[in-house]
Structure 1
Amino acid sequence: MEEKTHPSIESEMAVVGDPQSLEKKKAAIRNAGPGKLQVIADFDATLTKYWVNGCPGHTSHGLLQLGNPECEDKMRKLCEFYYPIKQSLTIPFEEKAKHMEEWQENGHALLIEAGLTLEAIKRSVADAKIEFREGVVELLNLLEERGVPVLILSAGLTDVIEEILRQKLPRFPKNVKIVSNQMVFSNDGRLVSFKGKTIHVLNKNEHALDMASSSVHDQFGETKEQSDDNVFIKRRTNALLLGDHIGDLGMSDGLNYEYQITVGFLNDDIEKFLETFQKAFDIVYVNDAPMWGVVELVSQICPSRGH
């Protein structure tokens, strides 16, 4: 069966700092085969668009309609205070990480205070200004066909991301595992707490092994015992990492990989951040680019049989 082809990303939307290094990585990953590859992806503004109809789109936190004006106002003030800190290039890492944890935990406390419910999450997603990048559906389908797991590691909310996938995609991908901040609901569907340690934009690497150990092993014929021993993830020693923040580069720190291709989506403040992104990522897509370039990349490193 002939594969669909898609127009290549316009050259001005893609920046490659070291083409020779990238080609070497692509060849090594292709030669190792899809059985050695995993995809590690951020969610907000990476799989989803940054801009929706000319305005910043919602995040998995920001789309929530709390039905509590006081809590919503507090949420806005948190964002106004902490977002510039997140974007700063001069604040030391340890100081910034402390602020990001404060932001996340204060936000979680407000969600509980507001009495967020499962039904409110469903309504919020349905009304949200949130869209996947063009090509995301095709990318997930291609990875599933090639037997490559997609590990979404997000500072967002697991339950919200799952609902977005259910509502915004034609079907829920079988090869996707989400590790994010997971909510705990009471019997009547009201948020009461969060499970485990808070995941924020700068500590994702601390959760990489947790993500690996509970991965989508069943989809690819692994046994429970193998998964418990991390055999499944250790067998996948090559990675394709997708993110929209320098901090996302740490998502794979807990995993031992041989070759990794990193793709950064620089959606805003292009002139300010391009040089930093170009040094940090193998490929940088600018101006909220669609996902077709990554689809093309996966087609190259995971060719169909007979190619």
Structure 2
Amino acid sequence: MEGCDLSNVSVVDNALSLQNKIAAIRRAGPSKLQVIADFDGTLTKYMVNGRRGQSSHGLLRQENPEFDAKRKALYEYYHPLEFSPTIPIQEKTKLMEEWWGKTHNLLIEGGLTYDAIRESVANSAITFREGVVELFEFLEERDIPVLIFSAGLADIIEEVLRQKVHRSFRNVKIVSNRMIFDDDGRLISFKGKLIHSLNKNEHALDMAAPVHEHLGDVDGVIDDSASVKKRTNVLLLGDHLGDLGMSDGLDYETSISVGFLKIALDIY
């Protein structure tokens, strides 16, 4: 498939409907708009330099390689089940809860430290899609909130922003699995409800923390949770069918969903 590049190809089911939605969002203005985005494979690239990019879970390396191997074994067992077309959704949801729960326990048992997170991100093959930083800047200038909703790890997402972008955005909040560390920087537990790939929804908004608070910025937050819920026009970005549920609990007027196709091409 010489010269094949699908990075700029888009497929629209109903072009007229899309144009009508765009017009409605423009008429309502920035004060009614919010962006809800998945992180891994959506804001970040699926392919990096011709190879599969890493996720916020996948890039993590513990000081004890034994626990990396155990987490990899869980991935190899559960990942095919996640995309199985024959497993009912309720059963699949329980399997995802098992997978994430076991993985989090291994991180605690293996004595994960924040220093290991910093080093893992520094050595990772993870990068943002072209235009993501510019999009965040554009939205920040217009006081449009961005909710990053991820089944990954909030602390790693923040470290990726710190190391790859070198700044934070006062309009960005993260809803993800957040770690709790002791005074020595060692992981001891996780905060709040477990978020996996099939239970994303905006009922977990109370877990959101502004990125700037963790990266050391002192500016105020543009929106609190209540005002975000009043923004009834939504741009939803994801790469998994489960991401369609990220706006559940939000009484929106107009919603545009954008799906990013995950594909690896062999170039002959």
1:73 aligns with 2:69: yes
Q: Quickly say closer, same or farther: Cα 1:79–1:15, change in 2 above 3 A.
A: same
Aligned to 1:47: 43
The 1-side partners of 2:72 and 2:259 are apart by 27
Q: Distance in 2 between matches of 1:201 and 1:69?
A: 25
Match of 2:236 in 1: 241
| Residue 99 (structure 1) aligns with | 95
The answer to whether the 8 A contact 2:203-2:248 is kept is: no
- Equivalent residue for 2:54? 58
TM (norm. structure 2) is 0.89
Matches for 1:83-98 after TM superposition, within 5 Å: 83-98=79-94
Q: Match of 1:194, as an amino acid?
A: F
Q: Which moved more, 1:203-212 or 1:254-263?
A: 203-212
Q: Secondary structure at the match of 1:199?
A: coil
Aligned mate of 2:199, from 197, 203, 208: 203
**C-alpha distance in structure 2 between counterparts of 1:106 and 1:204, whole Å:** 19
Aligned residue-pair number: 256
Alignment pair present for 1:140 and 2:136: yes
* Alpha-carbon distance between aligned partners in 1 of 2:113 and 2:160, rounded to the nearest angstrom: 16
Native 8 Å contact 2:60 2:121 kept in 1: yes
**Structure 1 residues 185, 211: closer, same or farther in 2, change over 3 A?**
closer
> Match for residue 246 of structure 2?
251
Residue by residue, what CA displacement relative to the aligned partner does 1:69-106 show, whole Å, maximum 9, x if unpaired?
A: 22111111111011111122332111111111111011
Any idea what the Cα deviations from partners look like across 1:33-57, whole Å, max 9, x if unmatched? 0100000000001000011111111
User: What is the CA-CA distance between 1:234 and the residue it aligns to?
Assistant: 3.1
Write the deviation string for residues 183-230 of structure 1: whole angstroms up to 9, x where unpaired: 01111110011011110011111634425798999433x6xxxx47x2
1:152 matches 2:154? no
Q: Which residue identity lines up with residue 138 of structure 1 in the other structure? A: E
Question: How far does residue 127 in structure 1 lie from its aligned partner after superposition?
Answer: 0.5
2:36 partner amino acid: I
- Shift of residue 12 of structure 1? 6.2
Q: Distance in 1 between matches of 2:67 and 2:250?
A: 38
1:23 aligns with 2:19: yes
Q: Give % identity.
A: 61
Contact conserved, 2:38 with 2:149, CA < 8 A, in 1?
A: yes
CA deviation digits over 1:262-287, x for unaligned, max 9?
A: 000011279xxxxxxxxxxxxxxxx9
Equivalent residue number for residue 221 of structure 2: 219
Contact kept in structure 1, 2:174 and 2:208, CA below 8 Å: no
Report the counterpart of residue 161 of structure 1 in structure 2.
157
Q: Show structure 2 runs of 5+ residues with no match.
A: 213-218
Amino acid at match of 2:38: D
Q: 1:215 to 1:114 in 2, by over 3 A?
A: closer
Q: Is the 8 A contact 1:208 1:253 kept in 2?
A: no
Taking structure 1 as reference, are residues 88 and 265 closer, same or farther at Cα in structure 2, changes over 3 Å only? same
Q: Secondary structure at the match of 1:108?
A: helix
Q: Output the TM-score relative to the length of structure 1.
A: 0.78
Letter in 1 for 2:241: I
One-letter code aligned to 2:245: G
Of stretches 28-37 and 9-18 in structure 1, the one that deviates more from structure 2 is 9-18
